[in-house]
Amino acid sequence: MSGMKTTMLLAALTALFMALGYTLGGSGGAIIALLVAAGMNLFTFWNADKIVLRMHDAREVDAQSAPDFYNLVRDLAQRAGLPMPRVYIIDQDAPNAFATGRNPDNAAVAATTGLLAVLSRDEVAGVMAHELGHVKNRDTLIMTMVATIAGAISMLANFGLFFRGGERDGHGSMIASLMAVIVAPFAAMIVQMAISRTREYGADRAGAEISGNPHALASALAKIAGRAEAIPNPVAERNPAAAQLYIVPTHVSELFSTHPATEKRIAALQEIAAKMGAIPAPPRASALSPIPAPPRRRSALDPHGR
């Protein structure tokens, strides 16, 4: 059902692009806009993981530097039938996590120290299973396709605004063109958000199946949501687009969020748990072992790294 809905929304986005090109009168500008947008998004697709991880100052860990966390991800990847992704830690108080990479063979998952500090082991497993669900569902590829078409719509709308609006080919035609260049990008944004929200529900379901514990993922979402709103996230504040990466977005109203409301996701997970016959486990205080802080860089003024 999720895949069918995504396909229908992608078809709607493509139809919107074609309709805008037709309204503006000519296929030449539409083709150019699509090629430019595709080129930009292709570059982002191949380099998105490097860009995102560098943006967050993420540091890669392994079985020696973070054994509990690394082995947890490894076990979940094996359960999901996925290649072992690269594993990263982000030194940030705001609790969150994300996945990146153009396909399962080039995937990476990351979690903040804030998330690892506040969640139990089962809850961390639920969160990382959700991120591996994104990898398994190839959501990065889907969202790149969406971004390509939405970017082309925006570029074509800008082209029409500057080069079509001034033509004197009839008052009605000019009004239609202006309406198209104003409405089309907004409509594309709505469809893009709808696809992203569908993907989040799909990743929640996949995470519940991979971890076998939908109650733990629901509990983690409840814990993360409040803290993500209260604790500043410098990366999201500098780059608002980064919010769509996280398992829970920060400081975004539900109307314009790329994620469904957390309460709705928790309710959906509870339904999944009921179908799976999963029984809520008693609260456990067990958590992952602390992640060592990275060594401080030495400077010319402080050669000992103090």
- Give residue-wise pLDDT tens across range 58-110: 999 999 999 999 999 999 999 999 999 999 999 999 999 999 888 899 999 99
131 given a catalytic annotation: yes
Give how far Cα 240 sits from Cα of 109, 236, 251, Å: 20, 5, 9
Quick one: which of 5, 28, 21 has its CA closest to 177? 21
132 pLDDT more than 80: yes
- Alpha-helical runs (H) found in the chain: 2-23, 28-55, 67-80, 113-118, 121-136, 139-163, 171-211, 214-230, 234-238, 262-276
pLDDT in tens, 236-257: 777 666 667 788 876 554 545 6
Q: Is 130 annotated as a binding residue?
A: yes
Contact status, residue 89 vs residue 61, Cβ threshold 8 Å: yes
Taking residues 15-19, what's their average pLDDT? 71
Give the pLDDT confidence score for residue 172 in this predicted structure: 46
> CB neighbours (10 Å) of residue 219?
21
Q: Is 134 annotated as a binding residue?
A: yes
Burial 72-84 (b: 16+ CB within 10 A, else e): bbeebbeebebee
Give how far Cα 81 sits from Cα of 76, 210, 276, Å: 9, 9, 20
Give the pLDDT confidence score for residue 171 in this predicted structure: 44
Give the pLDDT confidence score for residue 238 in this predicted structure: 74
Give the pLDDT confidence score for residue 301 in this predicted structure: 46
pLDDT in tens, 140-187: 777 666 666 766 677 667 766 665 544 445 444 566 566 666 777 777
Q: Which residue has the tokens 């999720």?
A: 2
Average the pLDDT over each of 19-28, 47-56, 113-122, 219-228 and give the range with the smallest value: 19-28
List the structure tokens of 35: 């090629």
Q: Is 200 annotated as a binding residue?
A: yes
Q: Which residue has the higher pLDDT, 136 or 44?
A: 136
Catalytic residue among 123, 131, 229, 263: 131
Give how far Cα 68 sits from Cα of 61, 236, 289, Å: 11, 28, 6
